Amino acid sequence: MKNLTKIHGVGLAIVLLSSLGAWAFAGETCTETCPVAAKVTALLDDWKTETASVEAMPEADRAAIATTLTATKAQCPVGSRLGTTMTVVQTSLATTIALSESMCTDDCPMRNGSLAASDPAAYRKGKALLEQRARALEGLRQLATYTATACNGCCADAEAVPTSIAADDASGADDSTSCVTGEAACPIRVASKIGELKADWTVARREAAGLADADRRAIFTSLASVGEKTKVTELVPASVLALTEGFDALQALDAEMHEWAATTPALADLPAEAQMTFMMQSALLDETRGLLHRVTDAMHAMSADDAAMQNTASARR
């Protein structure tokens, strides 16, 4: 990927996670996440193919693309904000995965065999749900990583996207919000950054809807010229939309897990600390979902038709 940068109930359930599951995104069990899983898998394949394509480009071509994208991004209310936001989404997912893996101890009913012995049906259902959630989180994390890498400097001479949270694309890591994904304070720091970004994306939507037609055309013309050389300009928006759908699917999966946990008596006595930790994770994912919806709202506002509708509605108000 280095060369791509050159161009309450839910807490009870998720605490059992770390002893389960391979990371393949497709799986035997399938509920609401399956259509999203297929889309994410296809996009990951496309990103791998495009990474190889970028690696094969002459250095001069990569530099020309980077120059065009940097100039275009500076004029675009959406593109200028995506790098930081996708880094935060990536960090949110990595944080959730890291904490999930570290929390399940030998006392977990799913891990110590007690649930399998006392309620085999509940064990099988819980195992399937937890493995499905683990696969979904990892697939979305990989997709967010590709997207963040591209947004933070496609085709430029830079290393892979950092896992720390930056104040903005140009300033580098901000010590006040930097985050090691396994530390206890990380969800709080990420959530704080998400709150700032959600407010900023509300501004971005207004800016996108209010763009002059000539400025809007110039942005899309520039992106189209880059699109003749690389699919990155197609993969980024497609990936943002897929991530948003993926977080919606995770919310539905969490609801199913909540019901499973609430109807499984063996899960009633998990430690309060573990329950609280995973309630924080669930809240973090929900905040990230809200952020992604703000991003997609701004993306839709970049469309001339959507912008015209929003401007008409604003005039009527």
Domain residue spans of the chain: 2-25+32-316
pLDDT, mean of residues 282-293? 94
How far apart, in Å, are the Cα atoms of 277 and each of 55, 92, 104? 41, 14, 11
Asked if pLDDT for residue 131 goes beyond 80, the answer is yes
Name the percent of the chain lying above pLDDT 90.
Answer: 48
Quote the pLDDT of residue 276: 75
Q: What is the mean predicted confidence (pLDDT) over 252-280?
A: 80
C-alpha–C-alpha distance, residues 21 and 5, integer Å: 31
CA distance 27 to 20: 13
- Please tell me the predicted confidence (pLDDT) of residue 257: 85
Side chain identity, residue 287? E
72-86, 134-148, 157-171, 201-215: range with lowest mean pLDDT:
157-171
Structure tokens belonging to residue 213: 């037609």
Q: Is the pLDDT of residue 150 over 80?
A: yes
Band of the pLDDT at 89, cuts 50, 70, 90?
very high
Question: Is 183's pLDDT higher than 70?
Answer: no
199: left (phi over 0), alpha (psi -120 to 50) or beta: alpha
Q: What pLDDT is recorded for position 268?
A: 77
Indicate the length of the chain as a whole number: 317
Quick one: pLDDT band at residue 153, thresholds 50, 70, 90?
Answer: low
- pLDDT at residue 152 in the model: 84
Nearest to 87 by CA among 155, 139, 150: 150
Q: What is the mean pLDDT of residues 31-37?
A: 66
Q: Indicate the average pLDDT of the chain.
A: 77
Q: How far apart are CA 147 and CA 260, in angstroms?
A: 34
Q: Is the pLDDT of residue 45 over 50?
A: yes
pLDDT at 288: 97
210-224, 277-291, 294-308: which is most confident:
210-224
CA dist list (Å): 199 to 81, 193, 223: 12, 10, 26
Under DSSP, the state recorded for 169 is T
Which whole number is the average pLDDT over 171-176?
38
Dist. CA 283–CA 11, nearest whole Å? 10
Interval 182-200 mean pLDDT: 84
| Stretch 217-244: mean pLDDT | 94
